[in-house]
Structure 1
Amino acid sequence: MTPNQSSINPKSNTQSPLPQRRAEQLNQTLFKISNAVRVSRNLDDLYGSIHQILGEIMDLTNFFIALYDKEAGRISFPYFRDIYDAEEVYCDELRLDNCLTGGVIQNAMPVFLRKEELERRRDSKTLVGTVPELWLGIPLKIKGEVIGIMATLSYHDADLFDQIDLHTLISVSDQIALAIERKQYEQALSSSEKKYRTILETMVEGYFEQDQEGRITMANPAMCKMLDTPVEEVVGTRFEKFFANLETNTIPNAFQNIINGDKTNLSLEFELSLKDDSVRYFEGTFSSIRDENHTIKGIRGIVRNITEKKIAEKTQKRFEEKLQQSQRLESLGTLAGGVAHDFNNLLMGIQGRISIIQADLDEQHPHFTQLARMESYIEKASNLTSQLLGFARGGKYEIKAVNLNHIIENSIAIVQPAKKAIEIRTVFKDNQSVVEVDENQLEQVLVNLLLNASQAMLQGGTITIGTEKITVDDNSAAVKSIIPGPYLQVTVEDTGVGISEKNIGKIFDPFFTTNPSGGSTGLGLAMVYGIIENHHGFISVESTVNEGTCFTILLPSSQKKIVPDDKRPIETQTGTDTILLVDDEPMVTEVGKEMISMLGYEAVTASSGLEALKIIKDRDKKIDLFIIDMIMPQMSGGELFDRLKSSDPDVKILLSSGYSIDGEAREIINRGCKGFIQKPFT
């Protein structure tokens, strides 16, 4: 039951003045309690200090402080000293209606109870624990609201406390309640600050605060790590320092809008320049810091490092651009390859006719010189088709291990005599730079790049060609669409006029040229691109207007041993054997038949694979050699080869095409074909 007011009042409610000595002690006690709030580290220290201070004027062997949580309806004992009972005896059982502490809280009045009353409380189950001789309980109030009580008791001396002691405790109760509340606020604030500090110190995002002048007043470890600067160098530094050398910097203006009150918060992406001059990318959310009067005092920001994300986006963009370029060039390459193939057939017919006519003329004949000039024109036309086939990735393709440095030196020897105003330097970091390439094609690549560089330096300048071994990792390989591993890197760098930003993305396009004189076909760099791609390599370009251009080529490095060329002179062989020329172009079969006959051989022609098989079936005489075109209607050269090979494993066959030896032709060679002839041939 709840004790009524009369049962908990002391015997006399009249508060007589305290004796002078106790009054002096009380004043000192109040001062000490006030000071204890300031010096105690936490609530536990404060409770202990209160107990000690009060114990100097009273015997408080048994003393406790209880707090009441009104919302939870819970009584707790943060400080408890008792010679018989332990705190645990109370905690699980106490309610407002079953204990002395609850009665004081409910009635908000002090009590002074002696043993007779205490035993009645025990019998009525409103007392928990050992029954003492005396029990004093004083409510602790804040603005009339009970927050808890303090209590003392005596188990052996019924006269240990009197009215003076009761009034002393009543006199200090308000001070103690205020002290507890203040320390609770301080401890809650300290706990909040500690939690806040822990969050800031462990969060992966950067956090900073700056004042109105832009000086950083606080930065967490993540922010300092992002800036690659220790905290002692970050705090006190103006944030603008980290934007040095960045022209596209909008942060100061955005921050000023917050300081001016034009915006309360904003989110944006920005760049920061670090000590090593590297640039990192960030995104941040920023807001104003205001005081209790809502006056703006500075800015706080939460920052995330998005450098990897930005690099990935740029990498993806470059990959997409490269894919689009490759698809565009592949379509154009298919067209160019087809044109070159048909053009080579035409050149074959023209060249063959000229050779036949020359064979019947004396060198002194007036037409002989004209025919020789026509041959030179055909050779130029053949070089043009070679460029087209190079761009189309369908040129002659004879792979072997070579020293890349030697090819560079040979290319320089071709270009240097005609470009005496240009200094060409080489920087070879490894003498044995072995790659597996078509030597002639790679020489075309380097000569084209050297000529392009020299044309960008009409008043003279320097070209630097360097080679070095590098390793391409998985990420870089994915961007470049090549296989990870060891590569040889070739750089061709000039000091010329450079390439404008609007043109640099088009330089590998076929027929694109910036030469105003019209002296360029615009196929040179397209051919370079096609050849490098065809060798499973990568080529890129960087350029700055009025400073120069640098082409970078990556070619797979090889461990193969270089085998010296067998350069025995080619001799024209005559004979009487029978040769079957199979080609769907009449101009090729007509001129080919005459050229073969001129060498003494019996020439037979067929316009298709089916016709060739019929000729073999109808002839009694054996065919000693077949020359087969690769691309024909109805039956391809590859299919005809397989049919002939199945009938006679020892059959001698040469392949012929306006395309290259690469691809299907190479596969047929590996299956036993005796050789390959690139059109036009004579």
Structure 2
Amino acid sequence: MFIYASPSVERMYGATVDEVVERPIQDSMTPESFQKALQVFAEEMALEQTGAADPMRTRTIELEEYKKDGTAFWVESTLSFVRDARGKAVGVLGVSRDISKRKAAEAEKERLARINRQLQRSDSLARMAAAIAHHFNNQLQVVVGGLELAMNQVPENAKVFATLRKIREASRKASDISRTMLTYLGQISGARCAIDLCGVCKNSLPQLLASAPKTVSFETDFPQEGPVVLADGEMVRNMLANLVINAWEASGEGAGVIRIAVDTVEPAQIDSRHRFPVDWYPDDTRYGCMIVEDHGCGVIEADIEKLFEPFYTTKLMGRGMGLPALLGILRAYGGCITVGTALNQGSVFRVYLPVFQGKPSDTMPHPVSMMQQYPKNIGVLLIDDEDMVRDIAEMMLKRLGYEVIKARGGKEGIELFERHHQSIDVVISDLTMPGMNGWETLAGLRAVDPQVVVILSSGYDEAHVMEAGGPIDPPSAFLGKPYRLQDLSRCMQDVLGRFQKPSECPGDRLQNALQEMPDGAFHKNSAEGT
């Protein structure tokens, strides 16, 4: 119990001296601080019993105490023993000062340090994942292209054809893994258009219901329509699916209820606690909010940040890219996600996307006809620094009936184009190359011929690639790696349909160019290459 309190306590605690003195010690501070105070007292009494301790010693501790109105605040207390005439400890003298501002500053410093650590870790992961994805997609291009060529030379009724088809399917799944890595980096954003967030969620329900365990039921709270956001509808469906799968797995084997809702909120309504990306801040626009709530196992505080780390999972090893990929999509869209969770009480995930002031648009793609035919002997300049990728792409182009000139990089490609651009109809250039990248190569080609038809090829998402072009006008088309034979065919037919001049006779120009090319630079279509 207290026996004396200084009049200064009225300012600190908002209570009179008598109220402070009469208050039990255990009620004056938080349970954690009370246990800490008891431990310090026990340690000092044990030291006192040794008889060797300095009787004038002091001990300073930080405690979280309560004001009269119940508000918690931090104090720094310097403690010493009160002694009788024989030097025996008969009480404790404490001198306290309010350190709430200092603790708040320390908490803010730690918060910023935590954000900085997360950003550094994210940046490191981004560089690693981008490098892996680039090299992975290049090698995968060789596999996918080689399989396409092999399958075109094998009858469908042959036994080996079924094996090749399975290998192609495995290659497609491998490509999806690479795409997921780039999505985590915010480098896969898809074709953005104005979509009704509520409509996308409603349309996704039948598939979610069909996939969910029978023990799981759904509750929904949707507005009649809206809000409208700028996004790729398929990616929004993937985000919702990942959150729902996460929710039903958190529900365990017992019966569970998952609530899905859509709302529109003001920036001030977005919680800053457990908000990701950690460096995200709202602007003055309104936000569409997609909510998925469960009553499952929840997440402990220490693990919340790990939820969005690649391949972190408490389930089967090798999983754990659903939430990181979701975060990557939000990075690309300027949105965020918040997590509210408590152990054994469930979780609520809220996804926020900026509201678009407009009406939903038509998102149906306009397919390119595969039946249109173009003249033979079309000249293609193929620029890629990877030997195997270049060779496979050459074989694929020849299989489609095109003539091919190969270059090992941007500088060599520009030199060849400068000498023979009259005989080249289309240039296909890789984006990521040493010395001179695809954008720099595009600028060099246009310096020779402003009307040059250039296809940029990359394992990155088209939207991300176009954003990186800066002031340079976009290429004639984009071809994502790894691409199949039909993807290459469709892309070529598209650019030829849009840019080919009917008066030109590419076959004659190519034949003339053959006489001027150095040995080995021009690889004419042959029986072996078709």
Distance change >3 Å, CA 536–CA 567, structure 1 → 2: closer
**Distance in structure 2 (CA, Å) of the matches to 1:653 and 1:598:** 20
Q: C-alpha displacement at 1:672, in angstroms?
A: 3.4
Provide the C-alpha distance between the structure 1 equivalents of 2:258 and 2:186, rounded to a whole number of angstroms.
28
Shift of 1:396: 5.2
DSSP-derived class of the 2:436 partner: coil
Identity of aligned residues (%): 28
Structure 2 residue 293 is matched with structure 1 residue 493: yes
Partner residue, 1:633: 434
Distance of aligned partners of 1:288 and 1:554 in 2 relative to their CA distance in 1, 3 Å threshold? farther
Q: Deviations over 1:372-429 (max 9, x none)?
A: 3222211211111111222344335544444444444455554432213223444558
Q: Is residue 539–residue 554 contact of structure 1 (8 Å, CA) maintained in 2?
A: yes
TM-superposed CA distance for 1:641, in Å, is 0.6
SS of equivalent residue, structure 2 residue 76: strand
Distance of aligned partners of 1:358 and 1:252 in 2 relative to their CA distance in 1, 3 Å threshold: closer
Find out whether 1:575 has 2:374 as its counterpart. Answer: yes
Aligned equivalent of 1:147: none
Deviation at 1:638, TM superposition (A): 0.8
The equivalent position to 1:269 in structure 2, one of 47, 62, 72, is 62
Alpha carbons 2:188, 2:464 under 8 Å: kept: no
Q: 8 Å contact 2:428–2:456 — kept in the other structure?
A: yes
Deviation digits for residues 216-274 of structure 1 (CA, Å, limit 9, x no counterpart): 8967542344xxx7999768544543446657644577789999xx8997643222357
- Confirm or deny: 8 A CA contact 1:581 1:606 kept in the other structure: yes
Please state if 1:593 is matched with 2:431. no
Which one of the candidate residues 185, 202, 223 is aligned to 2:12? 223
**Pick from 97, 107, 110: which aligns with 1:314?**
107
**Counterpart of 1:513?**
313
AA at the equivalent of 1:317: E
How big is the shift at 1:679? 0.7
In the alignment, structure 1 residue 469 sits paired with structure 2 residue 265: yes
- Residues 493 and 475 of structure 1, relative CA distance in 2, 3 Å threshold: closer
Q: 1:512 to 1:254 in 2, by over 3 A?
A: closer
Distance 1:348 1:296, change over 3 A: closer
Map of 1:652 onto structure 2 = 453
Q: Whole-Å Cα distance in 1 between the matches of residues 279 and 390 of structure 2?
A: 42
Structure 1: segments with no counterpart, 5+ residues: 1-209
Paired AA for residue 498 in structure 1 = G
TM-superposition CA deviations, 1:148-186 (whole Å, max 9, x none): xxxxxxxxxxxxxxxxxxxxxxxxxxxxxxxxxxxxxxx
Amino acid aligned to 2:322: G
**Cα separation, 2, equivalents of 1:219 and 1:636:** 70
Instruction: Confirm whether residue 450 of structure 1 aligns to residue 244 of structure 2.
Output: yes
What letter is aligned with 1:340? A
Say whether the 8 Å CA contact 1:582–1:589 is kept in structure 2. Answer: yes
Query: In the alignment, which of 413, 418, 425 is matched to residue 612 of structure 1?
Result: 413
Q: CA deviation at 1:473?
A: 10
Structure 2 letter corresponding to 1:375: R
Give secondary structure in 1 for the equivalent of 2:73: strand
Residues 245 and 362 (structure 1), Cα distance of their counterparts in 2 relative to 1, 3 Å cut: same
Q: Give the aligned partner of residue 26 of structure 1.
A: none
The more displaced of 283-292 and 427-436 is 283-292
Alpha-carbon distance, 1:639 to partner: 0.9
Does the 8 A contact of 2:294 with 2:346 survive in 1? yes
How far apart in 2 are the matches of 1:418 and 1:503? 27
1:545 to 2:354 alignment: no
Cα distance in 1 for partners of 2:222, 2:75 equals 40
Larger Cα-atom Rg: 1
Q: Report the 3-state secondary structure (helix = DSSP H, G, I; strand = E; otherwise coil) of the residue aligned with 1:283.
A: strand
Distance 1:393 1:470 in 2: 24
Is 1:335 matched with 2:128? yes
> Do the aligned partners of residues 665 and 217 (structure 1) sit closer, same or farther apart at CA in structure 2, a change above 3 Å counting?
closer
| 1:121 counterpart residue number | none
Match of 1:378 in 2: 171
Relative contact order (C-alpha < 8 Å, sep 6+): which is higher? 2
Distance change in 2, residues 1:590/1:425 (3 Å): farther
Task: Give distance in 1, aligned partners of 2:210 and 2:141.
Answer: 33
CA separation of 1:390/1:492 partners in 2, compared to 1, >3 Å: closer, same or farther? Answer: same
Amino acid aligned to 2:443: D
Secondary structure (helix, strand or coil) at the match of 2:447 reads: helix
Distance 1:380 1:538, change over 3 A: same
In structure 1, the residue matched to 2:474 is 672
Aligned pair in 2 of structure 1 residues 438, 323: CA closer, same or farther (>3 Å)? farther
Q: Please give the TM-score of this superposition, normalised by the length of structure 1.
A: 0.57
| TM-superposed deviation, 1:434 | 4.1
Q: CA shift at 1:445, angstroms? A: 3.6
* Structure 1 counterpart of 2:145, one-letter code: G
Task: Confirm or deny: 8 A CA contact 1:393 1:534 kept in the other structure.
Answer: yes
Distance 2:358 2:449 in 1: 35
Question: Displacement, 1:482?
Answer: 2.5
Q: Distance in 1 between matches of 2:265 and 2:223?
A: 8
Q: CA deviation at 1:662?
A: 4.8
Q: Is the 8 A contact 2:292 2:350 kept in 1?
A: yes
SS of residue in 2 equivalent to 1:345: helix
Aligned to 2:325: 527
CA RMSD of aligned residues (A): 4.4
Partners in 1 of 2:196 and 2:68 — Cα distance? 41
**Residues of 2 paired with 1:281 and 1:464: CA distance?**
39
Aligned to 2:363: 565
CA positional deviation for 1:636: 1.4
Report 1:34-73 matches (<5 A): none
Q: 1:646 to 1:440 in 2, by over 3 A?
A: farther
Report how many aligned residue pairs link the two structures: 466
State the Cα distance separating 1:529 from its structure 2 match.
Answer: 3.8
Instruction: Give secondary structure in 1 for the equivalent of 2:478.
Output: strand
Q: Is the 8 A contact 1:473 1:484 kept in 2?
A: no
Q: Does 1:643 align with 2:444?
A: yes
Where 1:485 maps in the other structure, the secondary structure is coil
Describe the shift of the 1:330–1:339 C-alpha distance in structure 2 as closer, same or farther (beyond 3 A): same
Change (3 A) 1:409 1:309: farther
8 Å CA contact retained: 1:655, 1:665 = no
Q: TM-score, normalised by structure 2?
A: 0.71
Q: Which segments of 5 or more consecutive residues in structure 2 lack a partner in the other structure?
A: 49-54, 485-530
Corresponding position: 1:481 with 2:282: no
1:422 corresponds in structure 2 to: 216
Instruction: Work out the CA distance in 2 between the residues paired with 1:660 and 1:640.
Output: 19
Q: Name the SS of the counterpart of 2:475 in structure 1.
A: coil
